[in-house]
Structure 1
Amino acid sequence: MQLAETTPDRTVRLGAQGVTRRFGPVLANDAIDFRALRGTVHAIVGGNGAGKSTLMRILQGVDRPDSGVILLDGAPAIFAGPADAFARGVGMVHQEFMLAPGLTLLENLVLAAEPVDGFGRIDRTAALAKARALEALAGVSLDWDTPVENAPVHVRQIVEILRLLYRGADVLILDEPTAVLAPAQVRELIALLRKLRDEGRTILFISHKLDEVLAVADEITVIRNGRVVASLPRSSASRDSLAEMMIGEVLARPQPRAAAAGAPMLQVTGLSARDLRGHAALTKFDLTVRAGEIVGIAGVAGNGQDEIVAAATGLGRIDAGSIRLDGIEIAGLTLAQRRSLGLAYLSPDRAAEGLCLAAPIAENAIAGHHRKPELCSHGVLRRKAIARHVAALLDRYSVKRASDRQPAGSLSGGNQQRVAVARELDGEPKLLVACQPTRGVDIRGIDFIHRCLIDYRDRGGAVLLVSEELEELVTLSDRIVVVYGGRITGEVARGTAGLEEIGRLMLGGKAA
């Protein structure tokens, strides 16, 4: 690939000039230009399919552009691969943590780059000294002997960042770094990023949380449909203006009306359950969700939310307790039996659990409903009736597709989620367990899904909402139940507490 002529600008630590990348007929990156200056936090925002992931792969050396160049220290550069990019100071913290289970934080920090003594043995004293030096640099304090699986989520995030610094990276690419953090932990992370910035490091901050982008970024680049639509200083941006640039139109935030809660639909009493490691995750847990209300579950990941969902849906075992759906005990029933009684379930993992990506969209849209008389007669599927039903259903939920027979995996993440939402709300279930309903969905899709949940509630549906997005819980929930260590630390009604109060409860604080 021919390197473009450019005058090096040493203040530009990492950037792109005319970067274009195609995948067959799809133009993922279209002549992208941006420049992240040394000692700044540069945010890159855009909806699903905007081209952010492709650009990050190119900046890491995982992929190469068809045309255009990477800029490194203001001059054109070619990365032979991720190792080459890292050797030149560019590292990335992925949304899914890459720490090795079964090892301590210190062992993870130095893994594959361990200091050794004169006999070729790992020098733990030297490793700990390096860890302490990084602590001082970052302004944090960690217990390095903690096994990684016992460390809080925000500590794992910090260790991921310190691993890059330990190996010499001074450009940090962070992909959705606050996805599972409580507000106080987000503040800690932002403070760390500012400190690293002030020490001369360059940070690329990839996020859809615009309030956090505005809190940490010095410069912001907005990408839509593979092209840069704006690069601007933080001082010239607002949440609404960024959202409009990302999607090309103004979206009004949904304003749910006051709930008209009815009879109990889900009643959980004295529930005790263990996690996958056999540790107690829930102890004598009580919860009620009524018809016509959305009850949100807030908590830092790993505090019992997964076990609540598994118990309600029948996907996990319980040690004790009662679970009733519209007055009927379901604790011993399978998921299929619970669905027949009116339970719907929106899985947090649509790729592995919520959908069969290799199967046609139509089959995904009727899964679990395919035995209904209007779709099946004497055990034989009624193909024409299914085709009519699916077409109308997917049109109603604005699923963009070329054909109802194309594989579900060929859809964008947002459209895949629309298929899952359409299927679960089809037939007006009594209770919807919605777990991370907008994970991996862009602003337009989030708005659509939020309106679907609100409309379902307004029609009398009951929703148990589990989300890592605290703003989502506050926007949608009539009541928020906060869990910590498998117990309820507080319950907050709509409009009675802000993010900070809820965040304090998420970290084990007492209700005010």
Structure 2
Amino acid sequence: MTGQDKVPASDIRLGARGVTRRFGRLVANDAIDFSARRGTIHAIVGGNGAGKSTLMRILQGMDQPSEGTVVVNSEPVSFAGPADAFEHGIGMVHQEFMLVPGLTLLENLILAKEPVGGLGRIDRDTALAEARRLEKLAGVTVDWDVPEEEAPVHLRQIVEILRLLYRGADVLILDEPTAVLAPAQVRELITLLKKLREEGRTILFISHKLDEVLALANDITVIRTGKVVASLPASEADKGKLAELMIGEILARPSARESAAGKPVLELSGISARPGRGTAGLDALDLTVRAGEIVGIAGVAGNGQDELSGIVTGLRQASAGAIRIDGLDISSLPLSARRLAGLAYLSPDRAHEGLCLVAPIAENAIAGHHRRPEFSSSGFLKRRAIATHVETMLDRFGVKRSSSQLPASSLSGGNQQRVAVGRELDGNPKVLLACQPTRGVDIRGIAFIHQCLLDFRDKGGAVLLISEELDELITLSDRIVVLYGGKATGEVSRGSARIDEIGRLMLGGLAA
């Protein structure tokens, strides 16, 4: 018997009974049962392809089960769409925020449910009073006149939550809500969610950050390969147990020797970039990454990380400064020439930039390397040599596929990322720019990619790691440079890196 079997029927605010969802022969959800108790936080955890997203789409009315039923207030229901789910008090905050640029936070709050006064005009006073009520209810402070694109990330997320409350939701589904937040902002969000729970709201918390799950949840449901493998009170769980349930085995931790940093490989001198909409730009940034070293870049989203990666790759131009690889000035070179100079680039946008999802897996695995002499001659591709090399590389990086000629879209997100990592490390580059390398990747995939980066470093490679995951930065980096407002606010070294210190720097504090 699981913890979920003990939930009284009258106490179920939202749940599933025997929910199965098939896509042809693929079974994404397989007879899933779970029950979220009224006034609790219920975490849903699982690896890539486990079926979490499909289940959330069903609970939100965006998809319908092939078999089984959604349960609301202990009664079976059938949703015709998200509006129908919202009529039952169920709303969702997605990873990609749904606020509208160009509108203020107040205008986003009331959008599609505006209070109307005389002459059919929006009653701003009533709207602001309601915003203040919600603000007080949630225990937060919001400047409602700020345009959406100028608001910090954590404030946009809070407004997303308050918008659901404004529209009457008392069940909130949160998908990876802490992915882009600094530690202090994570604590603020956790405080808000606990307050909402105390007021009787029910929260579904989808996350791969097991520390946060254990700190926040009352109950946890673990899904693996479309099936529920465990439902238990958080008090009976720990990180090791949850990780083992998620992947079906005990996972070895990545290992690496101590860094023996060598000569400078990647050097940025006085790099500046003009700010964009909602981003800080860069202000005279100096940065060096040496051979045999991983340098991590930490910062709340919008503080110069995008400008930094764009300038290193040549996808955008610096307004001042110079960039060198192994002593060669590449400031004015295109990405193709920078690759020849020894740069590899792992894009944060796997679907639109890192891979071509409609192209075959094999073509994605060789893209950018197809002009190498062993793969082409006189403008003609050596297809047999390419095919042999691709299969060997895909096997080496553990890419699970039925055929390398299928489109990359046929792979899970984790396997797509393995293709991208394998391609970028193939050919022994001098420096790897790795941006959000484990975004959307499960625990097993994260451990594998981390080991790949450490192995590359241990062989003398230089890695510039830009990540929103502080645990990842602390695990991998020999040094962590923190960006705030386009400037480096401080640097911490391996062994002395503490989350609270990094978090303080991320919010503009100066190095101690």
* TM-score normalized with structure 2 length: 0.98
Q: Which whole-Å CA distance do the structure 2 matches of 1:122 and 1:342 have between them?
A: 58
- For residue 47 of structure 2, what is the aligned residue in structure 1? 47
- For residue 427 of structure 1, what is the aligned residue in structure 2? 427
2:65 aligned partner, one-letter code: P
Cα 1:89–1:277 shift into 2, 3 Å: closer
2:50 aligned partner, one-letter code: A
5+ long unaligned stretches in structure 1: 1-6
Q: Which whole-Å CA distance do the structure 2 matches of 1:131 and 1:477 have between them?
A: 42
- For residue 358 of structure 1, what is the aligned residue in structure 2? 358
Confirm whether residue 302 of structure 1 aligns to residue 279 of structure 2. no
Q: Which whole-Å CA distance do the structure 2 matches of 1:280 and 1:242 have between them?
A: 38
Cα 1:172–1:280 shift into 2, 3 Å: closer
**Is residue 150–residue 277 contact of structure 2 (8 Å, CA) maintained in 1?**
no
Displacement after TM superposition at 1:277 (Å): 4.0
5 Å-filtered alignment, 1:26-425, equals 26-277=26-277, 281-425=281-425
Q: Which whole-Å CA distance do the structure 1 matches of 2:404 and 2:107 have between them?
A: 50
- For residue 4 of structure 1, what is the aligned residue in structure 2? none
Displacement after TM superposition at 1:192 (Å): 0.3
Displacement after TM superposition at 1:10 (Å): 2.7
3-state DSSP of counterpart to 2:188: helix
Displacement after TM superposition at 1:256 (Å): 2.9
3-state DSSP of counterpart to 2:401: coil
Q: Which whole-Å CA distance do the structure 2 matches of 1:228 and 1:9 have between them?
A: 19
**Is residue 303–residue 485 contact of structure 2 (8 Å, CA) maintained in 1?**
yes
3-state DSSP of counterpart to 2:80: coil
Q: Which whole-Å CA distance do the structure 2 matches of 1:405 and 1:70 have between them?
A: 38
3-state DSSP of counterpart to 2:371: coil
5 Å-filtered alignment, 1:462-501, equals 462-501=462-501
1:61-83 Cα shifts (integer Å, max 9, x gaps):
11111111111001111112110
**Is residue 478–residue 494 contact of structure 1 (8 Å, CA) maintained in 2?**
yes
- For residue 452 of structure 2, what is the aligned residue in structure 1? 452
Displacement after TM superposition at 1:495 (Å): 1.2
3-state DSSP of counterpart to 1:369: coil
1:350-395 Cα shifts (integer Å, max 9, x gaps):
1100111111111111111101111101111001000111111111
1:406 aligned partner, one-letter code: L
Q: Which whole-Å CA distance do the structure 2 matches of 1:240 and 1:56 have between them?
A: 25
3-state DSSP of counterpart to 2:10: coil
Displacement after TM superposition at 1:329 (Å): 0.2
Name the Cα RMSD after superposition. 1.2
3-state DSSP of counterpart to 2:118: coil
Q: Which whole-Å CA distance do the structure 2 matches of 1:162 and 1:257 have between them?
A: 47
**Is residue 8–residue 74 contact of structure 1 (8 Å, CA) maintained in 2?**
no
Q: Which whole-Å CA distance do the structure 2 matches of 1:279 and 1:432 have between them?
A: 24
2:394 aligned partner, one-letter code: L
3-state DSSP of counterpart to 1:156: helix
Q: Which whole-Å CA distance do the structure 1 matches of 2:277 and 2:36 have between them?
A: 43
**Is residue 481–residue 491 contact of structure 1 (8 Å, CA) maintained in 2?**
yes
**Is residue 256–residue 454 contact of structure 1 (8 Å, CA) maintained in 2?**
yes
Cα 1:438–1:221 shift into 2, 3 Å: same
3-state DSSP of counterpart to 1:161: helix
**Is residue 8–residue 75 contact of structure 1 (8 Å, CA) maintained in 2?**
no
Q: Which whole-Å CA distance do the structure 1 matches of 2:110 and 2:279 have between them?
A: 29
2:59 aligned partner, one-letter code: L
Cα 1:248–1:305 shift into 2, 3 Å: same
Displacement after TM superposition at 1:280 (Å): 5.9
1:450-476 Cα shifts (integer Å, max 9, x gaps):
000000000000000000111000000
Displacement after TM superposition at 1:279 (Å): 7.3
Cα 1:447–1:332 shift into 2, 3 Å: same
Cα 1:278–1:317 shift into 2, 3 Å: farther
2:228 aligned partner, one-letter code: V
3-state DSSP of counterpart to 1:481: strand
**Is residue 61–residue 84 contact of structure 2 (8 Å, CA) maintained in 1?**
yes
Q: Which whole-Å CA distance do the structure 1 matches of 2:408 and 2:252 have between them?
A: 29
2:336 aligned partner, one-letter code: A
* TM-score normalized with structure 1 length: 0.98
**Is residue 247–residue 444 contact of structure 1 (8 Å, CA) maintained in 2?**
yes
**Is residue 45–residue 222 contact of structure 1 (8 Å, CA) maintained in 2?**
yes
Q: Which whole-Å CA distance do the structure 2 matches of 1:341 and 1:378 have between them?
A: 22
**Is residue 89–residue 168 contact of structure 2 (8 Å, CA) maintained in 1?**
yes
Q: Which whole-Å CA distance do the structure 2 matches of 1:277 and 1:380 have between them?
A: 44
3-state DSSP of counterpart to 2:100: coil
**Is residue 256–residue 476 contact of structure 1 (8 Å, CA) maintained in 2?**
no
**Is residue 360–residue 404 contact of structure 1 (8 Å, CA) maintained in 2?**
yes
1:423 aligned partner, one-letter code: R
Q: Which whole-Å CA distance do the structure 2 matches of 1:10 and 1:164 have between them?
A: 25
1:106 aligned partner, one-letter code: L
1:50 aligned partner, one-letter code: A
Q: Percent identity?
A: 73
5+ long unaligned stretches in structure 2: 1-6
Q: Which whole-Å CA distance do the structure 1 matches of 2:92 and 2:277 have between them?
A: 30
3-state DSSP of counterpart to 1:437: coil
Cα 1:279–1:197 shift into 2, 3 Å: closer
- For residue 3 of structure 2, what is the aligned residue in structure 1? none
1:11 aligned partner, one-letter code: D
Displacement after TM superposition at 1:278 (Å): 10
2:451 aligned partner, one-letter code: R
Q: Which whole-Å CA distance do the structure 1 matches of 2:249 and 2:57 have between them?
A: 28
**Is residue 297–residue 467 contact of structure 2 (8 Å, CA) maintained in 1?**
yes
Cα 1:277–1:189 shift into 2, 3 Å: closer
1:487-512 Cα shifts (integer Å, max 9, x gaps):
00000000113111101100001111
Q: Which whole-Å CA distance do the structure 2 matches of 1:279 and 1:71 have between them?
A: 42
**Is residue 149–residue 278 contact of structure 2 (8 Å, CA) maintained in 1?**
no
1:267-309 Cα shifts (integer Å, max 9, x gaps):
0001111244497611111000000000000000000011111
3-state DSSP of counterpart to 2:120: coil
Displacement after TM superposition at 1:8 (Å): 8.5
**Is residue 279–residue 304 contact of structure 2 (8 Å, CA) maintained in 1?**
no
